Amino acid sequence: MYNITQIFEMDKLLIICGPTATGKTLLGIKLAKKFQGEIISADSRQVYKGMDIGTGKDIEKGKWVEGHWEIEGIPLWLLDVVEPHQEFNVAQYVDLAQRAIGDIRKRKRLPIIVGGTGFYIKGLIDGIITLGVKADWELRMSLENLPAQNLFDLLSRIDPVKAASMNASDRKNPRRLIRAIEIASKSRRLKTKDRKQKISAEILFIGLKAEFKELYKRINKRVEERVKKGAEKEVKGLIKRGYSWDLPAMSALGYREWQPFLEGKVTREEVIQKWKFDEHSYARRQLTWFKKDKRIKWFEITSPGFKSEVEKLVKSWYTGLNAE
């Protein structure tokens, strides 16, 4: 273990990112133990309370301590932030993450961002330009009668990364698509002052990846494990509590796939297969997003000893000394 107060005064921030099912959280916990760190989740699905199994929080391994979860003694921040009926967006995430980073630094510990929601991570690290984009009513009027597919095709041409990051619900939501087009068409002209303040830190980006064949295999296993843990019961419980299918939270992977089953339109086996395929597609979109960022140092999770290589790199960055 390394003592941050004995090594440096400069603010540092470690980021562990990549597609789903690559073991980001387990690696984050391992590094947090080694380097006196605390984890801040960057997962747009895990912010919702009561949505645990479908999102893969793995909280059965931890405990709730004074407003946050802890797993193996390591604090995990920004899980269970809002109720499923409440709105949550990237601006809220950035605000909460910046506060968490500040609190962790006050305790002389290392903040570690762990997650696969690229838009959240980019917003935190590079600032948010969406806050500086005012409504373009002329543009909105010209687009308001277009079908969602046409709007998505237009967005794909002007901002393919943003289009690739959208979930199935957003791709069918004209209002969100028009706003995305509006932002994409104006963002290049925004001045730096229009951005929300970006984080100040010396940052190390660690990316975890695998060949799609291996990734799909891991995803399938995870989905099957979540079904065994009671994903269906969790979804039924949310519906029983009055949360409707049109809520953004209920459009999350692991939840929306159950709607046709509960309406008697498909079989349970079809739900599970659809869930797996949707997770495969999501993993591809995540890779599309992250591979655009040249700051990320990638590690193949099937390579023997990759965790040791990651640890060496983090030690060298963290201490400023060459890791032998």
Range of 143's domain? 130-194
Q: CA 187, CA 44: separation in Å to the nearest integer?
A: 23
3-state class of 176 per DSSP? helix
For residues 207 and 310, membership in a common domain is answered with yes
For residues 18 and 161, membership in a common domain is answered with no
Domain final residue pick, 194, 221, 245: 194
Q: Write phi, then psi, for 89 (nearest 5 degrees).
A: -135, 180
For residues 29 and 69, membership in a common domain is answered with yes
Is residue 324, in this structure, part of any structural domain at all?
no
Domain final residue pick, 160, 194, 228: 194
Q: Which of 83, 261, 289 is nearest to 167 (CA)?
A: 289
pLDDT in tens, the chain (324 residues): 655 444 444 589 999 999 999 999 999 999 999 999 999 999 999 999 999 999 999 888 789 998 899 999 999 999 999 999 998 888 889 999 999 999 999 999 999 999 999 989 999 998 876 655 677 888 888 888 888 898 998 888 888 777 877 777 788 888 889 888 888 887 655 544 444 556 778 999 999 999 999 999 999 999 999 999 999 999 999 999 999 998 989 989 999 999 999 999 999 999 999 999 999 999 999 999 999 999 999 999 999 999 999 999 999 999 886 655
Is residue 171, in this structure, part of any structural domain at all?
yes
For residues 76 and 225, membership in a common domain is answered with yes
Q: CA 286, CA 309: separation in Å to the nearest integer?
A: 23
What lies within 8 Å, CB to CB, of 20 at 6+ separation is 116, 219, 222, 279, 282, 283, 286
Q: What per-residue confidence (pLDDT) applies to 194?
A: 47
For residues 298 and 253, membership in a common domain is answered with yes
pTM of this prediction? Answer: 0.81
What lies within 8 Å, CB to CB, of 184 at 6+ separation is 155, 158, 159, 162
| Helix (H), strand (E), coil (C) string for 41-66 | ECCCCCCECCCCCCCCCCHHHEEEEC
DSSP state of 253: T
User: Which CATH number goes with the domain that contains 267?
Assistant: 3.40.50.300
